[in-house]
Amino acid sequence: MGLAVSAQEMILAARRLTGTETLDEANAFVSNAEALAVLNTELQELDDLIIENHDDAYNRGTYRFSVEPSISTYPLPFSAYKITSVDVTWSTGITRGAHRFMEAERNRFKDIRPAWSHLGRVFFRVLGDNIEFIPTPLSAVTIDVSYIPSFTPLVALTDTYQSQNGWHMAAVWGLAAAIYLKDDNEQGAAFCDAQKEKQKARVRALAASRVEGEPPRVQRVRTRWDEDDF
C-alpha cells in the first residue's frame, strides 16, 4: 500500500530544502536524533489528518478475544486508536455486528431479551483502553474488534512510513520549518509552513475519494432484525 519512505530519506529531503545537507553527521546543524523526534511529531499529525478525512480505514488492525460469563469489560490492544467495528461470533458460526451505546442508553439495553443470542442484540462502548458490553455476557463467545491503529513512531533511520502519492511531504516540509526556526530564519520557516499546508490540503481533497468509482453511501441504521446486522 503506497510507497515505503524511510526516515533517512525524509530527513535528507528536509535538509536539502533548507540547505543543511551534509555527509558529516557529527557536525550536522540538526542531528539525526533531533530530526527524527520532529519528524515523528509531523508524521503523527499527518496520520490524524488522513484518518479524519479517509472514508475507509487507511490502516486496519484486528484483535480477537473471547468474553466470559458475567464479565462485561475487557482490555483493548494498546495500539487501538479508533474502533471501526465489533463482531460477535457464536459457537454455531453465526456472526453479528455489535453496536455502540451511549451513556444515556446504559440502562436501556441491560435487560434486553434474548440476551447474547444471534436473535437478540449486543452493544458496546469504549472506556479508555477497555471495551464494555451490555447486556453482560452470559456465555463464552468470540469477539473480533477491527480498529485503526495509532501511529508507530519511527525509531531507526531505516524505519519506513507508507506514503500515498507523496503525502509524506507534509511532514518533510514541517521538519524543514523546524530546521529553519532553529536557525532563527522565520522567513524560511514561514515558507515551509505554507508548503506544508498545501500538502495537507491535497490530503484533505484526495483522501476521501480513493475509491473513485463508488462514492460513500448513506448507512442504514434501522432494519428488520432478520436482515444482516441488528
- 84/144 same-domain check: yes
For the segment 142-154, the average pLDDT, to the nearest whole number, is 94
Q: Are 137 and 126 in contact (CB under 8 A)?
A: no
Residues 159 and 123 occupy one common structural domain: no
Residue 222 in any domain: the answer is no
* Domain total of the chain: 2
Return all residues near 224 (Cβ < 8 A) that are at least 6 apart: none
State how far Cα 228 lies from the chain centre: 27
Residue 223 lies in a domain: no
Residue 94 has φ and ψ, to the nearest 5°, of: -75, 130
List of residues 6+ apart from 163 with CB closer than 8 A: 2, 3, 4, 5
Between 22 and 157, name the one with better pLDDT. 157
In this predicted model, what pLDDT tens digit does every residue of 2-38 receive, in sequence order?
Answer: 789 999 999 999 999 999 887 677 677 899 999 999 9
The helices-and-strands tally (H runs, E runs) of the chain is 4, 10
Question: 149, 168, 194 — which closes off a domain?
Answer: 149
Are 15 and 22 in contact, with CB atoms under 8 Å apart? Answer: yes
Specify the pLDDT at position 181. Answer: 95
76 and 90 share a domain? yes
Residues 134 and 65 in one domain: yes
Whether the per-residue pLDDT at 230 is higher than 50: the answer is no
Same domain? 51 vs 158: yes
Q: Are residues 162 and 138 in the same domain?
A: no
Query: Contact 63/149 with Cβ under 8 angstroms?
Result: no
Both 73 and 187 in a single domain? Answer: no
Is residue 100 in some structural domain? yes
Where a domain ends, among 101, 125, 149?
Answer: 149
Range of the domain at 163: 3-55+152-207
CB count within 10 Å of CB 147 equals 22
Does residue 140 fall inside a structural domain?
A: yes
pLDDT per position as a tens digit, 51-91: 888 766 677 899 999 999 989 999 998 888 989 999 999 98
Compare 114 and 165 and report the one with higher pLDDT. 165
Question: Are 144 and 66 contained in the same domain?
Answer: yes
What is the predicted pLDDT for the residue at 224? 45
Domain identity same for 128 and 181: no
What's the chain's Rg over C-alpha atoms? Answer: 23
pTM of the model: 0.80
Task: Tell whether 71 and 140 lie within a shared domain.
Answer: yes
Same domain, 123 and 167: no
228 lies in a domain? no
Domain co-membership, 77 together with 102: yes
Residue 214 placed within a domain:
no
Residue 126 belongs to some domain of the structure: yes
